[in-house]
Amino acid sequence: MEHYPCINIHLDTITHNAHNLVSACERFGVKPAGVTKLACAYPEVGEAILAGGIGILADSRIQNLKKLRHLDGETMLLRIPAISQAREVVQYADISLNSELETLQALAIEAVKQHKIHQVIIMHDMGDLREGSFYQEETLQLAREVMKLEGLQLVGLGTNLACYGGVEPSIDNQTQLIALAQQIETEHNIRLSYLSGASSAGLPLMLRGELPKGINQLRLGASVLMGIGLNDDPVPNTRQDTFDLTAEIVEIKVKPSVPAESTALDAFGHKPTFTDRGLRKRAICAIGKQDIDISQMTPKDRNIIVIGGSSDHLILDINDSDMPYHVGSLIEFELSYGGVLQCMTSEYITKRFL
Ligand SMILES: *Cc1c(COP(=O)(O)O)cnc(C)c1O
């Protein structure tokens, strides 16, 4: 018995994308980490990524990494850990990205307690202004402190770009990251295993052959899971149809396209506006704003117009469609990145793995 709305997750397509991205990265000396957060780290998705040849699964949330612990891959925590979660971080993440000494001290204490060596990548801010110190001397100082902490191993240097500030991965910022890593390596006479230069947003630079030699990790989420990267552009040799949404029609009626006398605000406190198309055949689907921001879904039937919705109802104009829709028919939608995210986190949307 299927329950709708449901998000369909095409696992073979995720494996296809992972596989092709591993091949593309290999030519440039890069090993991707596979980022699962868009799919809430459902183990089925983790497995599909590993099947494509990726060895590290990364997620921003420790609750998500916990779901992946029985799989083969190494796990990496992307969001700077919270001190209050130090125990779980050491328990469920092999590697974490860090920027604060207090947190690293807490991780070190936990690692010693759990008889583990926790691997640390220090984040440096190259101007996107999310995590990491913006000042080289501070990052070098943090590296010195990590080197002193028992239970921790400094394994890499990373940066995050095109996430908050819209700063693109470039030859310049990637070269600076490599130079900073070299200073750390020289000062402590160590080799850093990971120079983690960017997310999927770094792929265009790499595919142009301009990623400076030395960057050896990209953290790939959107490109593996949806075939998109910088500015949501499609990534070559990947597919974009990994996720779609199915909703069920619960009413079909012919109605005027403008309300009788519109004087009140809608359910969300906005003054509604309407386009007068005359009498039209309309359908209501059992999905609404409590499930998804409806601007993030597009009917695959291009003759359907999304006219609006409320918390639990999606109102469609199906007048121009050639399809014989009836009550109980299923309508399929494409989803944006934000749409997939909402569907994956909504407890009202069934997850169907195909
Ligand atoms: C989400 C995230 C990524 C993955 O970004 P995509 O654009 O989905 O490839 C990489 N690194 C960090 C730190 C992240 O939070």
321-348: pLDDT as tens digits: 999 999 999 999 999 999 999 999 999 9
Tell me if 54 sits within 8 A of 23, measured CB to CB: no
- Report the pocket of ligand 1 as residue ranges, CB < 6 Å: 35, 37, 60, 78, 160, 199-201, 219-223
> CA-CA distance, 63 to 61, in Å (whole number)?
5
* 289 in active site: no
> What backbone phi and psi angles, to 5 degrees, belong to 143?
-60, -40
297-319: pLDDT as tens digits: 999 999 999 999 999 999 999 99
Q: Which atom of ligand 1 is nearest to the CA of 223?
A: 9
Q: Which atom of ligand 1 is nearest to the CA of 33?
A: 10
Tell me, letter by letter, the H, E, C secondary structure of the chain: CCCCCEEEECHHHHHHHHHHHHHHHHCCCCCCEEECHHHCCCHHHHHHHHHCCCCEEEECCHHHHHHCCCCCCEEEECCCCCHHHHHHHHHHCCEEEECCHHHHHHHHHHHHHCCCCEEEEEEECCCCCCCCECCHHHHHHHHHHHHHCCCEEEEEEECCCCCCCCCCCCHHHHHHHHHHHHHHHHHHCCCCCEEEEECHHHHHHHHCCCCCCCCCEEEECHHHHHCECHHHCECCCCCCCCEEEEEEEEEEEEEECCCCCCCCCCCCCCCCCCCCCCEEEEEEECCCCCCCCHHHEEECCCCCEEEEECCCCEEEECCCCCCCCCCCCEEEEEECHHHHHHHHHCCCCEEEEC
**Ligand 1 atom 12: residue of nearest CA:** 78
Q: Which atom of ligand 1 is nearest to the CA of 160?
A: 13
Region for residue 16 given its phi and psi (left: phi exceeds 0; alpha: psi -120 to 50; beta: otherwise): alpha
CA dihedral (32, 35, 36, 38) positive or negative: negative
> What backbone phi and psi angles, to 5 degrees, belong to 338?
-65, -35
Structure-token pair, residue 250: 């619960």
Question: How much is the pLDDT for 268?
Answer: 80
Q: Does residue 1 surpass a pLDDT of 60?
A: no
Question: How much is the pLDDT for 164?
Answer: 83
Of 143, 151, 137, nearest in space to 188 by CA: 143
Map tokens 């591993």 to a residue. 22
Residue 128's pLDDT band (cuts 50, 70, 90)? confident
Structure-token pair, residue 249: 């029609």
Tell me if 103 sits within 8 A of 80, measured CB to CB: yes
78-125: pLDDT as tens digits: 999 999 999 999 999 999 999 999 999 999 999 999 999 999 999 999
Q: What is the 296 CA–ligand 1 centroid distance (Å)?
A: 20
Q: What is the 73 CA–ligand 1 centroid distance (Å)?
A: 18
Question: How much is the pLDDT for 247?
Answer: 98
Half-sphere exposure (Cβ direction) of 139: Cα atoms closer than 13 Å:
27
Question: How much is the pLDDT for 2?
Answer: 65
Q: Which domains does the chain have, with CATH numbers?
A: 11-232 (3.20.20.10), 243-353 (2.40.37.10)
> CA-CA distance, 342 to 41, in Å (whole number)?
14
Tell me if 321 sits within 8 A of 35, measured CB to CB: no
> CA-CA distance, 121 to 151, in Å (whole number)?
14
Map tokens 């989803």 to a residue. 335
Q: Express as a percent the part of the chain with pLDDT over 90.
A: 90
Which residues are paired to 152 by β-bridges?
118
Of 343, 275, 263, 265, nearest in space to 315 by CA: 275
Residue to substitute in 64, 77, 78 for testing ligand 1 pocket (most ligand atoms within 8 angstroms of CB): 78
Question: How much is the pLDDT for 285?
Answer: 98
Tell me if 140 sits within 8 A of 183, measured CB to CB: yes
> CA-CA distance, 3 to 333, in Å (whole number)?
16
Q: What is the 322 CA–ligand 1 centroid distance (Å)?
A: 41
Question: How much is the pLDDT for 102?
Answer: 98
**Ligand 1 atom 6: residue of nearest CA:** 221
